[in-house]
A and B are shown apart, each in its own frame.
Chain A
Amino acid sequence: MSLERERPLPRTYAVLAFPLAMLVVFFLVPFGIMVATSFYHRIEGAFYTPAFELANWRRLFQPVFLERAVFSIWICLLAGAVCITVAFPFTYFLTRMRRRAHVALVIVVLSALSLSEVIVAFTWYILLGRASGVSNILVWLGLMSEPAAYQPSFGAVVLGLCYIAFPYCVLTLYPQLTRLDPEITEAAQTLGASPWRTFWTVVVPIARPIIVVGFLLVFVFTLGSYIIAFFLGRPEHWTLSVFIADQASANANVPFASAMALFLTALSLLVVAIVGLIESRTRRAT
């Protein structure tokens, strides 16, 4: 094999044409339309008309929406933290299991991907409700005197968000943790580290980059979810996504929904950039 890189043949570029076209048609063009729409004029009681006005953007900077934006970022960062805290040890021990148990668990996790967000939201709605929820089991066991409702609540929203993001989080961590040489953790143990200390002083630091990636993935993924917060939370637990959906479908105010969606996208990119920066800084420092 020569060290010099050969120039790709025109045919090689041709292979890229199809995915590129898909990307343009189904991502760039709709995104452009959304940017344009955010400046359109809304006609009350009807639809909208092309225009260039900043009314939608100005409306966005009202305290209620800014406060929702901050809340959305906060609850999704929390969901990311909770999810990675559960998913990382889960995936780590999964990869250390015997082959058969290992494969069975991966299938269970993957099958959770087939559940739509609506089904997940409804299921938790029932499970956390008073009528036929988990508290009835606790009552039956004699641990509680009467059934209680755990939703709508902040905790229920975080739980739901973690639930839908969990399989993606596991799938992100899985390839890297599978490759972690078992001799590395064994080496730590021969050097006097208990399994617990080995986990904290060797496994977590080695996997830190992928932990950050998994965390950000859950953050971005849950930021776009609106059904979970809508079903499992009170209005004060609704994320900006709920308002976007509400504006777009219930109020038919697509220009304002577009402006909010773009604002949310920009905010999430900002958070991702900040986390990425902190990560690379600390990595260089050690």
Chain B
Amino acid sequence: MALLARLALSEEEKEMYTRQLRDILEYAARLNELDTTDVPPTSHVLPLSNVFREDEVGEHLAPEEVLANAPEREGGFFKVPRIV
């Protein structure tokens, strides 16, 4: 789970989180007391759908502004350790 979430945990942390998550998930299992057979899920409370705009260029950030917070950069690129 930690790997999926890209988190590196110590053995101690793994133990602590496992315990805490188990408690929380046990509590969450209470939801199974409810019969939701014909109930539609609500992922969004407003009756909005497909909010689009025209594909036109509007205001945007300059590349320099976007790169300003980069921990490491080279030219117009964000630099990271080797990928492969």
Do A and B originate from a single complex?
no
**Partner-A contacts on B (CB < 8 A):** none
**Partner-B contacts on A (CB < 8 A):** none
